[in-house]
Structure 1
């Protein structure tokens, strides 16, 4: 039996287009409400069991089920229904135009195309009449681009699965790990004074500079030693600094904002403590240093942290994904080691669900001014997802 006989290119293309045409970014009222309702209705109309679960207000997750006989593994497909805003796109963000073999529009690549593939794979399996021993669950979740509250709600509900797929664009590769993410602001306080008598003040910018130099001398070499085979190196980036008011005034304030990506073996506490140790060392010789470390609100989840993602390569879900991709592309698929943060971390770290990231599209198309997804990827990934389900749920 060929699962490709039970879905068409036209179906997956039209479903992707219809999802893209429903704006679901943070600036839309009720954000993912309308796209969640569309997915729910589409699944019900195509004979799938589906339910809506509250996330916040009228924002919903959609859970779709293909029930097995109860004797096999349960597989979860996870995809987020929100997108980043259209910003200054050079195409119509919600037209979902077909051109040059692509569907163009916001969310086509990240990641409504993947959700369309997940849904169509479930429909194809149901149409085929195959009765799997295990269950398939599709979780179309809200909020990944902001606080990941959709997957947080999903995990806190106690949902169980033996393996999961997160459908971020992967270019026919897969990932079993990525780094955790923390944004920190260092707030330096000084004492203002006239620029003509700078010794009467305490320059907060100078204090920040001293801290930066110490971090580069001491912490950077240590981070380079921390390397995980499936996540890459532990890193940090100083992304923004601002302080003072004018050249003729000693700066009484300086803010330093840092992006910190950490690997297995590190924690949020250990990350913060390393910075605090450097601050304490500076204070031993500079009692004028006054600085607070603040976890930035814009990066905080509701209750969880943006932890790292790691799944053991010997887990069954990893083997099944590797085989399914390999059979499709005719060679051993590559493991991606340079991913940004995804909901896979919440599933694997907090939900204890072995999780693999793979999906249609190419990461380089995400969040761009001309976001798009190859139509061939959509058609291919319906079969790949179905093959993963058929292999794993047995």
Structure 2
């Protein structure tokens, strides 16, 4: 069905998705603490005629959190489409990043000079609001759907995609999926994955006499890897990682030490390695082990432990191959963006190059996925997180048109 953008504009007011974003920002939803916003979204969906599945997501620490999945049923004559966003926000010890430096209340959802401020404005309550409003526009169209339209507001993307994995385990398998991470309205057909873990070095604990200092031993580990987030050469190029460079993700793989801890005879670093298709958790473990064994061969006092993943509660995110540009969901999304904005979108890794998303898990079970959402991220993490309100409206219009042309 060919839908004119003017038909979409007649079905909603531009301030609706913006106000919806404000409502979501005003409900704190740090990682593993998304239940209240999940309950609110479930109530909103019910009030707007969606079939709602409020899922209880078990956490590995024994707790639970909640995510809302809404569906508008179709006849089955067309493929199903899932619009997906995550409700968890960035979390720095249960507070916003550098909260004392914010000039706007992180939960007030202020609007100033065309920007909406607040924790989660970009990552990614604007994306969640866009999919809710886009689906509501489809419902307001009043035409029978040929394919199911699913709106999945999942938890814990920043915790390794635990909510997406739970959704998969529940048996949901739509044909297509659009994940509305902040792409600056670029069409993301590929993204990196990550392997996060720890290296623990043991030494001795003594005073005033020579001893094996684990801090000094850890310095060898840090030096053996790479400067932070600089592309690591492959083994063929004299580096230590086995991989084949990917033309759509230049500058990767790359790695950084994210944290360091020391207590008595033990020093531990936490690392984040951004990987590309063809690399796996197993291949990274093997390459890192070889690298660390080289240090041990040169120093008989070097005693290490490699821990992957970094936490039992947080899985790693695999790197998947690019979604074909001729996949129907990609074609319709590009066409919708062009019709709404008058411009061709960037297609590839785009603005989100180097970032991960729940698409990696959905692709892993055969769902054709693409990333497209509002929000330009100049640097991350952000003080005074903000999003241009016009992008929220544009994303809503594009997503509504894409959905209509796939399932009506």
Matched, 1:34 2:47: no
Q: Displacement of 1:292 after TM fit? A: 0.8
Q: Displacement of 1:383 after TM fit? A: 1.1
Q: Distance in 2 between matches of 1:345 and 1:363?
A: 21
Q: Distance in 1 between matches of 2:242 and 2:338?
A: 33
Relative to structure 2, which stretch is displaced further, 256-265 or 202-211? 202-211
Q: Is the 8 A contact 2:124 2:181 kept in 1?
A: yes
Q: For the aligned residues, what is the CA RMSD?
A: 2.6
Question: What does residue 249 of structure 1 align with?
Answer: none
Q: Distance in 1 between matches of 2:125 and 2:216?
A: 47
The SS at the match of 2:296 is helix
The SS at the match of 1:228 is coil
Q: How do 1:327-342 residues align onto structure 2 when only pairs under 5 Å count?
A: 327-335=339-347, 336=350, 338-342=353-357
Q: How do 1:96-107 residues align onto structure 2 when only pairs under 5 Å count?
A: 96-107=109-120
Q: Distance in 1 between matches of 2:379 and 2:199?
A: 33
Question: What does residue 385 of structure 1 align with?
Answer: 399
Question: What does residue 180 of structure 1 align with?
Answer: 193
Which among 377, 382, 393 is matched to residue 368 of structure 1? 382
Deviation track 1:96-152 (CA, whole Å, cap 9, x = no partner) reads 122211222111222111211111111111111232321110001112222432111
Deviation track 1:325-376 (CA, whole Å, cap 9, x = no partner) reads 2333323211316141211111112x32111111112123764221122221
Q: Displacement of 1:268 after TM fit? A: 0.6
The SS at the match of 2:366 is coil
Q: Displacement of 1:320 after TM fit? A: 2.0
Which among 63, 67, 75 is matched to residue 69 of structure 1? 75
Q: Under a length normalisation based on structure 2, what TM-score does the superposition of the two structures give?
A: 0.84
Q: Is the 8 A contact 2:241 2:287 kept in 1?
A: no
Q: Is the 8 A contact 2:234 2:244 kept in 1?
A: no
Deviation track 1:149-195 (CA, whole Å, cap 9, x = no partner) reads 21111011110111101111111212122222122222222234555
Question: What does residue 320 of structure 1 align with?
Answer: 332
Q: Displacement of 1:213 after TM fit? A: 4.4
Q: Distance in 1 between matches of 2:160 and 2:282?
A: 20
Q: Distance in 2 between matches of 1:235 and 1:322?
A: 30
The SS at the match of 1:333 is coil
Q: How do 1:114-193 residues align onto structure 2 when only pairs under 5 Å count?
A: 114-193=127-206
Distance 1:297-1:277 versus aligned 2 partners, 3 A rule: closer
Distance 1:223-1:127 versus aligned 2 partners, 3 A rule: same
Question: What does residue 86 of structure 2 align with?
Answer: 80
Which among 323, 344, 352 is matched to residue 359 of structure 2? 344
Q: Is the 8 A contact 1:311 1:354 kept in 2?
A: no
Distance 1:282-1:328 versus aligned 2 partners, 3 A rule: same
Q: Is the 8 A contact 1:166 1:356 kept in 2?
A: yes
Q: Displacement of 1:241 after TM fit? A: 4.5
Q: Distance in 2 between matches of 1:324 and 1:82?
A: 28
Question: What does residue 311 of structure 1 align with?
Answer: 322
The SS at the match of 1:364 is coil
Q: Distance in 1 between matches of 2:298 and 2:166?
A: 47
Q: Displacement of 1:214 after TM fit? A: 4.2
The SS at the match of 1:291 is strand
Specify every segment of 5 or more residues in structure 1 that has no aligned partner in the other structure, as ranges.
246-251
Question: What does residue 235 of structure 1 align with?
Answer: 254
Distance 1:289-1:312 versus aligned 2 partners, 3 A rule: same
Q: Distance in 1 between matches of 2:381 and 2:219?
A: 33
Q: Displacement of 1:12 after TM fit? A: 1.9
Specify every segment of 5 or more residues in structure 2 that has no aligned partner in the other structure, as ranges.
227-232
Q: Under a length normalisation based on structure 1, what TM-score does the superposition of the two structures give?
A: 0.87
Q: Displacement of 1:222 after TM fit? A: 5.0
Q: Distance in 2 between matches of 1:49 and 1:34?
A: 19
Distance 1:388-1:280 versus aligned 2 partners, 3 A rule: same
Question: What does residue 353 of structure 1 align with?
Answer: 367
